[in-house]
Amino acid sequence: MTEHDALTPAILTTGLTKRYGSTLALSNLDLAVAPGEVYGYLGPNGAGKTTTIRLLLGLHRPTAGSAHLFGLDAWADPVTAHRRVAYVAGEPFLWPSLTAAETFEFLASVHGGADTAYRSELVDRFELDTSKKIRALSKGNRQKVQLVAALATRADLLLLDEPTAGLDPLMEMVFRECVQEAKRRGQTVFLSSHILSEVEALCDRVGILRQGCLVEEGTLTQLRHLSALTVEATFEGPAPALPDLPGVHAERIGANALRFEVHGPVRPLVNALAQYPIATLTSREPSLEEIFLHHYDGTNARHDSTNEHHRG
Amino acid sequence: MANTATALRAPTVAPIRPASARTALVKRTFRDARVRTIAFAYVFAIYSWLQPAGYRKTYPTLADRIAFAHSFAGNDAIRLFYGYPYDVMTVGGYAAWRVGGTLALAAAIFGVLAAVRALRAEEEAGRTELVLAGAVSRRTAFRSAMAAIGTGTALLWLAAFLGFVVGRLPVAGSAYLALAIVAVIPPFVGIGAVMCQLAPTRRGALALSIGAVMVFWLLRVVADTWGSGAWLRWATPLGWAEELGPFTGTHAVPLLLFVAATVPLLWAAERIGATRDVGAGIFAEHDTAPPRLGLLGSPSAQALRTERGTLASWLLGVSVFAAIFGMIATSISAAGISENLQKQVAKLGTGSIFTPIGYLSFVFIVFILAVCLFVCGQVAAARTAESDQQLETLLAHPVSRTRWLAGRYVIALLGAAVLSLLAGLLTWAGAASQGVHISLPRMLEAGANCLPVAILFLGIAGLAYAVVPRASAAISYVLVTASFLWYIVGALLGLPRWLVDATPFVHVGLVPVQAFRTTDAIVMAAAGLVAAGASLAVFRRRDLLGS
């Protein structure tokens, strides 16, 4: 990697917008993914994840804004950009009459080469029978064919659109190992996914997309800070009535237990609790799932996150 | 009390009525086929109207008609296209001959296409599985598909009937002639349905079915052109349609043959379909194979690999018909043909077709049509790669869109060139085998003469693909077919020159009897290339579109 490369984002979108007729599929997306980064792209069905990837690949044309891969315009110069990209689609659209081995050969020649030794290793790890024709493979196995073909290119950027749909848990683990290996080698990974544990385990940064808008973005730590901290306290005796504290929402969960949702600094709550006989005190950060559900579900997601930003 | 009773009552679920499932399935299948059904209905109606109208115009007097009957229509070589002429001295008899022979073949093709689409294509796409997972039996699914095709058949009958009536044929006769044409559909639906049970893929079922149509057509051709083979007419549904004798002495008995052929075929298809695994066929498919790495080096090479079965079928079909046309050319003779009639036929631009060479020039129109349909088919195959989303997989690689599409065009052009030259070579060989002296270079020139108009239609099909991908296949096929029919009947109708000239086929010189029309050829090829170029520019700038 040259010095110039290290400075050029692997993915850079500015005001990227796509309309299909009257439907706004993607609105004003600003995204920057640095080389070597593993970026998790989360969002409910129909949020615009696949649209984003199609725009990144120059398969669909932006209504406004632009997408660049390694500084190359994704729409204007797709062929040059794709030399450094490998793509795994959410649905494996391959050629039914080719065997897996023939598919590898074809896709390698189309891509302009592949690491065949690494490919053989991947075939073993993913337990693929390469003599089988694509039409005879199950969806999960066809997905493996796509994954092996993409990983074997050792491309600088892996665009993965729900790559583990249809994989069994064992193969899911193999996939995670492969992504971690890719990361160690300095490859950039853009992982669109529904599987939160997968994103939590693999990604440096996460973006959450809802109805075509990027509603939240940051490292997992940052995202957790943006959400409430949960504190539960049990008391030696009946739970007291606490005074109202700013940014703290209290709830009685038992005769002598309280739960607090803390938005912002936790110190006022700790100071307040210190006056009472506490038996146990637990606190836990929100899981990605909670952050995710919060953004998916809440119609006032925007509003909430604006409030949260005030804490700074 | 009342509350408890309410609480205990089973939740109200609308009862499943088998009839509603059946209606839904019939509607679904009919909707899936609507573009094809409408296109066929349109062609049926126009063709049925044009033939009686054109005949009245061309042969106004009895004398003209007698001359026509004794010459043109009596030629074996003409029968090959239209079937056996029972009575071409009345408008009705003529229409029955000209329309019946051609549209019966179209009806056969409609039958197999409809069956394969409704049965195997649905199964291959996994939708049959979805339907059968509901409260629907295999029998209901099968019969619903057949009912939908039956509805389409009724529409085609109506289209042909209306065409004849507007062409001022008697109403009862029109109804019967239209029936004779669409009666061909059910047995071929039966054949298609059986092939869907045998072959595990849509492609396979289609290849087998189209092969069957060709065999039955060849049987009719032999029966109509070879005196001692007339009994063969009873061996093909296309012959039964002739035996029904619309306007020429109605024999309704062959109608029973249609029923007798259709019922066992459909019964067999339903039985096999009820006992086999969904998604599988009787012919086992090989699920594993040692890798064959030929033709995988580039997207174009791989496209050629995918299309090689189609190419082989076209080569075989063109070869067989070219050889037959060549061999039959000796039977042509100009004896006893009135000058007036010769003039009328000359309106087609054929010059004298009553010599072997004139005849071969005339039949070459069929190859020109075939090559044009072939290039449309190749563009349609490119669209299929896009709608099946394999193109998305491909274009995520460093593959240029324009190079990909241009590669498909090159394959189409090379295929067209091979087909054209093969047609020239084999008509020559067939004619030479019967002692007709004809120059090989001239026949190869006749072959090459197919190409300019094929390039034009390649450009048009390409442009349709780039601009309106979803409707492009239908548009290009209908344009080619309509242009061809316009060419065949436009001149006979005595329309103004500029209207007749609107079809590209008019501008094709009929080599070898006429000279190669260089200017027209250059204009058509150039227009085709410009359209193809424009299609590349448009395709470069549009979103990829799934099905």
Per-residue pLDDT tens digits for A76-111? 999 999 999 999 998 899 999 899 999 999 999 999
pLDDT value of residue A304: 39
User: Given a cut of 50, is residue A305 above it in pLDDT?
Assistant: no
For strands A229-235 and A248-254, give the pairing: unpaired
Residues B532, B409: Cα–Cα separation, whole Å? 8
Q: What is the pLDDT of residue A308?
A: 36
Minimum distance, in Å, between the CA of residue B289 and any CA atom of chain A: 5
Please report the pLDDT score of residue A309 as a whole number: 35
* Structure tokens, B6: 């309410």
Within 10 angstroms of residue A97's Cβ, the number of other Cβ atoms is 16
Phi, psi (deg, nearest 5) at residue B475: -60, -50
Out of A87, A110, A131, name the one closest to residue B288 (CB). A131
Q: Tokens 């179209």 belong to which residue?
A: B106
pLDDT of A177 higher than 90: yes
- Distance, first Cα to last Cα, chain A: 36
Q: What's the pLDDT score for residue B191?
A: 98
Average pLDDT over residues A186-200: 90
**Rounded to whole angstroms, how far apart are CA atoms B23 and B144?**
8
Is a pLDDT exceeding 80 seen at residue A112? yes
| pLDDT for A301 | 40
Q: How confident is the model at residue B50 (pLDDT cuts 50, 70, 90)?
A: confident
- The model's confidence at residue B89, banded by pLDDT at 50, 70 and 90, is confident
Average pLDDT over residues B92-120: 90
* Mean pLDDT of chain B, nearest integer: 87
Cβ(A97)–Cβ(A135) below 8 Å: yes
Spell out which chain A residues touch chain B, with contact meaning CB-CB distance below 8 angstroms: 54, 57-61, 78-80, 82-83, 85-87, 89, 91, 93-97, 99, 101-102, 105-107, 109-112, 129-133, 135-136, 146, 159
Q: What is the predicted pLDDT for the residue at B51?
A: 83
Q: Is the pLDDT of residue B445 over 80?
A: yes
Residue A307 pLDDT greater than 60, yes or no: no
Beta bridge partners of A214: A209
The model's confidence at residue B82, banded by pLDDT at 50, 70 and 90, is low
Read off the pLDDT of residues A15-57 as tens digits, 9 standing for 90 and up. 999 999 999 999 999 999 999 999 999 988 889 999 999 999 9
pTM: 0.83
The neighbouring-strand residues paired with A161 are A192
Tell me if residue B355 falls in helix, strand or coil.
Answer: coil
Please report residues of A whose CB lies closer than 8 A to that of B302.
95, 106
A83 interaction partners in chain B (CB closer than 8 Å): 398
Contact B291 A133 (CB under 8 A): no
Give exposure, A17-27, as e/b (b: 16+ Cβ within 10 Å).
bbeeeeebbbb
**Residues B286-333 pLDDT 10s:** 889 899 999 999 999 999 999 998 999 999 999 998 998 888 777 765
Distance CA B70, CA B338 (A): 10
User: What are the angstrom distances between the C-alpha of B236 and each of A269, B154, B530?
Assistant: 92, 22, 45
Least CB–CB distance from A61: residue in B288, B398, B543: B543
Could you give the CA distance from residue B487 to residue B372 in angstroms, rounded to a whole number? 14
Contact B219, B234 (CB under 8 A): no
Q: What angle do CA A48, A54, A57 make, to 5 degrees?
A: 145
Tell me the C-alpha to C-alpha distance, in Å, between residue A303 and each of A157, A261, A310, B54, B236. Answer: 35, 17, 12, 75, 75
For the cut 70, the answer to whether the pLDDT of residue A1 exceeds it is: no
Tell me what percent of chain B is helix, strand and coil, each rounded to the nearest 5.
75, 0, 25
State what percent of residues in chain B have pLDDT above 70: 88
* Per-residue pLDDT at A311 exceeds 50: no
The CA distances from residue B469 to A276, B407, B413, B472, B476, in Å, are 73, 18, 20, 5, 11
Residue the block writes with tokens 């005796």: A237
> What distance in Å separates the CA atoms of residue B331 and residue B329, rounded to the nearest whole number?
5
Q: pLDDT digits over B146-193, tens only?
A: 999 999 999 999 999 999 999 999 999 999 999 999 999 999 999 999
Contacts of B417 (CB under 8 A, 6+ apart): B448, B451
**What mean pLDDT is predicted for residues B130-155?**
93
Select the more confidently predicted residue: B493 or B175: B175
CA distance B47 to chain A (A): 39
Decide if pLDDT at B75 tops 70.
Answer: no
Contact A102 B291 (CB under 8 A): yes
Assembly ipTM: 0.83
Among the listed ranges A202-211, B221-230, B455-464, which one has the minimum average pLDDT value?
B221-230
End-to-end distance of chain B based on CA atoms, in angstroms? 56
Of A66, A9, A4, nearest to A35 (Cα)?
A: A9
Cα-atom radius of gyration of chain B, to the nearest Å?
A: 25
Dmax of chain B from CA atoms?
103
What pLDDT is stored for residue B113 in this prediction? 96
Coil, helix or strand at residue A21? coil
Nearest CA to CA, how far is A20 from chain B (Å)? Answer: 10
Helix (H, G, I), strand (E, B) or coil at A191: strand
pLDDT at B382: 97
Q: What is the DSSP string of A237-275?
A: SSPPPPPP-TTEEEEEEETTEEEEEE-S-SHHHHHHHTT
Q: What is the pLDDT of residue B432?
A: 93
* 3-state secondary structure labels for all residues of A157-170: EEEEECCCCCCCHH
B201: chain A residues, CB-CB within 8 Å? 96, 135
How far apart, in whole angstroms, are the C-alpha atoms of residue B82 and residue B221?
9
Q: Which pLDDT does position B335 carry in this prediction?
A: 47
**Residue-wise over A54-71: b if at least 16 C-beta within 10 A, else e?**
bbbbbbbebeebbbbbbe
pLDDT for the residue numbered B11: 62
Angle between helices B339-346 and B62-70 (to 10 degrees): 80
Beta partners for A21? Answer: none
Q: How do residues B361-411 score in pLDDT, each as one tens digit?
A: 878 888 999 999 999 999 999 999 999 999 999 999 999 999 999 999 999
**CA nearest A110 in B: which residue?**
B298
- Asked if A132's CB is within 8 angstroms of B287's CB, the reply is yes
Answer whether residue A174 shows pLDDT above 50.
Answer: yes
What token pair was written down for B257?
């043959």
Tell me which of B124, B202, B288, B397 to substitute to probe the interface with A (most A C-beta atoms closer than 10 Å): B397
